[in-house]
Amino acid sequence: MFPNFLPTAVEQLTEPASIALARSIQSHAIATPLSHQLITTTYVRLGSGGTPILLIHGFDSSVLEFRRLLPVLARNHQTWAVDLLGFGFTDRLAGIAYSPSAIKTHLYYFWKSLINQPVILVGASMGGATVIDFALSYPEVVEKLVLIDSAGLVGGSPLSRLMFPPLDYLATEFLRNPQVRDRVSRIGYKNPTLVSVDALCCGALHLQMPSWHQALIAFTKSGGYKAFRFKKLAEIVQPTLILWGDSDKILGIKDATRFHRAIPQSTLIWIQDCGHLPHLEQPEITAKYILDFSSKT
């Protein structure tokens, strides 16, 4: 059975990994300073042992992004994934200013409520910018950092200039368009055969959640994640693993070495024959690198 808070289109999932992860999604009402209302937050927790690994998804995505990686990590480790504020299947309450600052606050209170011990924080794409911002603000929470084809060296969004009525609604409708999402997926993968009907369903399921438009518009209007200066990245104190697809057509490959130069205790590993999504395209090797990194003292 699927959780009843997921859109009914979840029944269209066909791949075993997608179905299994969707069935594992839980929700918990989190108290934060952002609202007098509790924020019902969706997450997955699998596995046991070791320092908890917490996976953070990319822009306009959800925990389903980790449907292939999370179960592999969970064979040997307590592993979590959470839907960020304004994204995935987490509640989008009225009156909240959806922004990187709000995302960071919500993530901290999620961590404090359910994990409450240092974590290995893993961020993919925009999630990489999220975990960098979080680690700089709450260094005591993050034991190690993993960046997977991370955003954070180029700030803002070209959509932000369109975020005024009625173009704001039309811009989000453009992102909702199945043909647009299909094209973006094909650019994201090196292997185009991975752009299956199931993959497109995973990537679009959260679009049916209440207030998806409003939260995405608000986040984009906030300016999103600004580019981190090298001086700021140099303040990261945690050992950091940088994983990067050698054929990334979304962010390219130059930022991998730029992050490596900027972050003091960093290691860069190229994921061969892979695009922007190593956690989906090469989950076994990606998991191996993360687990090897997690075990190092």
Enter the DSSP assignment of 89. Answer: T
Please give the pLDDT value at position 164: 46
Please give the pLDDT value at position 160: 46
Please give the pLDDT value at position 249: 93
Query: Please, which pLDDT band fits residue 178 given cuts at 50, 70 and 90?
Result: confident
Per the listing, tokens 């409520």 go with: 113
More confidently predicted of 76 and 17: 17
Q: What is the pLDDT of residues 40-76, one digit of tens each?
A: 999 999 999 999 999 999 999 999 999 999 999 999 8
Q: What is the pLDDT of residues 259-273, one digit of tens each?
A: 999 999 999 999 999
* Percentage above 70 pLDDT, the chain: 93
Mean pLDDT, the chain, whole residue set: 92
Q: What is the pLDDT of residues 68-95, one digit of tens each?
A: 999 999 998 999 999 999 999 999 999 9
Neighbours of 24 (CB within 10 A): 19
CA 74, distance to chain mean position in Å, is 17
Domains and CATH numbers, the chain: 27-288 (3.40.50.1820)
Strand pairing of 79-82 and 39-46? antiparallel
Query: Please, which pLDDT band fits residue 193 given cuts at 50, 70 and 90?
Result: confident
- Could you give the CA distance from residue 2 to residue 20 in angstroms, rounded to a whole number? 9
Q: What is the pLDDT of residues 195-230, one digit of tens each?
A: 899 999 999 999 999 999 899 989 988 889 999 999
Helix (H) or strand (E) holding 175, with range, is helix 167-176
Global pTM value: 0.94
